[in-house]
Amino acid sequence: MARNAHPEATRQRILDAARKLFAKHGYERTSIQDIINELGDLSKGAIYHHFPNKAAILDALTEADTAQVNAALPLDDDSLSGLQKIRHWMLATVANREHMLLLRDAFPLLNDPKMLSENLKYWRTTNASMFRQCIEDGIKDGSISTQYPREASELLALLSNYWLAPMFYPATAAELKHRVRCLLTMLAAIGLPLFDLDSPEVNTLAEGIALLGAEPEHRTEP
């Protein structure tokens, strides 16, 4: 059998097909065979040559997707204040529907204690550090006035990734909007006024976060 002359291209094709199916049907309702059928010209062995299981495909997708989202963050944009950077970051993240649906599909993997530990570590370190950088920039440029830069960054990282997520704390659309307003109130109280409570951005955040609890489309069999 001839060797695959373009292994990276094949790997990317697998990821692209899986992304499409996960977004449409959800991770749990998509099988390796579905991915093979979507590709049309790869065997199950070819899939397993690149990924040991379906979870590894989702892990690769979320890792690449998160890296892409983070790379687009305006952390080094000197034209924005520290406060504007955080606002842009949060709104751009929830506006990326494909990214939010991938996160939705990845959350069931957190039932694995090791996966949960790795995610908590990321939220506690990398995610919090990125928020901390923006807050420190805001203190320097005058857009943020807080005596708790470290605590604010940790609070924002933990609550936005965990408490707001409807798969951890189920909520209706109205309850989720109320929860977003509660978080904004807490942050404003310690000097981090992200958005006005009656601003349209509250709806934007709540609607984007709601995608994390959205039901995938049901598969229709031919």
**DSSP letter (8 states) at residue 168:** T
Please list the ranges in the chain whose pLDDT falls under 70: 1-5, 72, 216-222
**What is the per-residue burial (b if ≥16 Cβ within 10 Å, else e) of 35-68?**
bbebbeebeeeebeebbeebeebbbbbbeebbee
Q: What is the pLDDT of residue 8?
A: 87
Neighbours of 27 (CB within 10 A): 23
CA neighbor of 218 nearest in space, from 2, 89, 30, 17? 30
The tokens 């499409």 sit on which residue? 20
pLDDT in tens, 95-122: 988 888 878 877 777 777 877 787 788 8
Compute the mean pLDDT over every residue in the chain, rounded to the nearest whole number. 86
Q: What is the pLDDT of residue 63?
A: 80
- What is the reported pTM? 0.74
CB 33 within 8 A of CB 44: yes
Cα–Cα distance between 175 and 47 in angstroms, integer? Answer: 42
Q: Name, in order, each residue with C-beta under 8 angstroms of 187's C-beta and a sequence gap of 6 or more.
A: 152, 155, 156, 193, 194
Q: What is the pLDDT of residue 32?
A: 93
Beta strands in the chain (DSSP E): none
Neighbours of 8 (CB within 10 A): 9
pLDDT in tens, 173-183: 999 999 999 99
The tokens 């509660």 sit on which residue? 182
CB 112 within 8 A of CB 158: no
- What is the token pair recorded at 91? 């709104």
CB 92 within 8 A of CB 72: yes
Q: What is the pLDDT of residue 29?
A: 83
CB 180 within 8 A of CB 202: yes
